[in-house]
Amino acid sequence: MLSSVRCQFRSLAWLFLLIPAGVVALGAHAQTAPVPTVRVGTLKFGTVNWELDVMARHGLDHAHGFKLKTVDFAGKDGADIALQGGAVDIILTDWLWVAKRRAMGGDFTFAPHSHVTGGLMVRRHAGIATLADLKGKKLGIGGGPIDKSWIILRAYAQKVAGFDPATAATPVFAAPPLLNETLKRGQIPAALNFWQYNARLDTNAFTELIKVEDMLPAVGLPPDMPLLGWVFSERWAEAHPLALKGYLAAAADARRLLANSPAEWQAIRAMTGAADDATLEKLRAAYRRGIITSPPAAAAALRGEAQRMVGLLTQLGDGAEAPPGGTVPPGTFFAGAGS
């Protein structure tokens, strides 16, 4: 009898020893749940990689509860297709792309990142002191006939100078890097190009006649209207709300670091391709111009601004680039906070 009681006691003792161990094991498993990965599709040599490098080096992804994974693509189409196919979670693109996909049944949405920047650069001593001086001259355009900056310049020139550079000048369309080289070689006297290319031009040989953002109010658009943003599927956002919130917060932190710290620009110097300190500083200054300094407007207000831009595109550009029906669909702009 006594032997049986002892056996039962030993069994109970082992049971009580095992129960806490199991509880501890379950608690440890809960605490080490996998951190969600956010896959960001980027152009291999795009400037957004500068910000993502800052994010990774400072561990901003882990600080905000996710793991950053970048996926490089050789061209914009590759990143677009990857997002639509679910191979990546987020890309940086313009809201017009989102509006078109939503109008065709997609569920992509746009969180603001930066506003329109760039400018009209002219060769010094080329006899171009005002917009009217562009008449009869070759004018380089960094992109195609539906480039947003080109549409803005056309609308602005008609409003303030009474002419359309599409007909009064001779547009020369080219990829931004090639256009810069064409301008440097003196084959054209003026060019409308993006900020990162204009910043690389020698200020002794070239001057900026007008900035794109300075044209916007004259054509009924705010100077800090967001053009580029983080784009993702609403379904993905609903399934991963904390990962999205963390990513947008980390992106905003990285942007602030890059804007405010000259040391960060030394860290990414090789990525920028800047040949000297002067060029690096010009790139930094041009980058800072594109930062949205005030909180993004509500999604409804952004949609109204976008609709005015679509009106310009339809009037002066290629209607096929506008959303079907010419209307910016609801949901194009993400209702949450932008970066």
Final residue of a structural domain among 201, 219, 237: 219
Q: Are 209 and 176 in contact (CB under 8 A)?
A: no
Count of other CB atoms within 10 angstroms of residue 112: 24
Q: What is the pLDDT of residue 140?
A: 97
Q: Is residue 14 part of a domain?
A: no
Range of the domain at 104: 37-115+226-326
Q: Is residue 4 part of a domain?
A: no
pLDDT tens, position by position, 257-285: 999 999 999 999 999 999 999 999 999 99
Which is higher by pLDDT, 259 or 20? 259
Please compute Rg for the chain using Cα positions. Answer: 26
Residues 238 and 316 in one domain: yes
Final residue of a structural domain among 204, 219, 234: 219
Give the pLDDT mean for 291-301.
83
Residues 130 and 250 in one domain: no
Give the pLDDT mean for 58-79.
95
Q: Is residue 334 part of a domain?
A: no
Q: Is residue 204 part of a domain?
A: yes
Residues 274 and 319 in one domain: yes
Overall number of domains in the chain: 2
- Domain with residue 73: its CATH number is 3.40.190.10
Q: Which residue has the tokens 């608690």?
A: 27
Q: Is residue 8 part of a domain?
A: no
pLDDT tens, position by position, 128-168: 999 999 999 999 999 888 888 999 999 999 999 999 999 99
Residues 97 and 233 in one domain: yes
d(CA 100, CA 267): 38
Q: Are 77 and 50 in contact (CB under 8 A)?
A: no
* Percent of the chain topping pLDDT 70: 89
Instruction: Enter the pTM of the model.
Output: 0.86
pLDDT band of residue 318 (cuts 50, 70, 90) is: low
Does residue 12 surpass a pLDDT of 80?
no
Residues 104 and 144 in one domain: no
Q: Are 297 and 221 in contact (CB under 8 A)?
A: no
Final residue of a structural domain among 199, 219, 239: 219
Residue 84 structure tokens: 């639509």
Give the pLDDT mean for 200-226.
93
Give the pLDDT mean for 185-212.
95
Does residue 231 surpass a pLDDT of 80?
yes
Residues 192 and 237 in one domain: no
Q: Is residue 5 part of a domain?
A: no
Residues 109 and 230 in one domain: yes
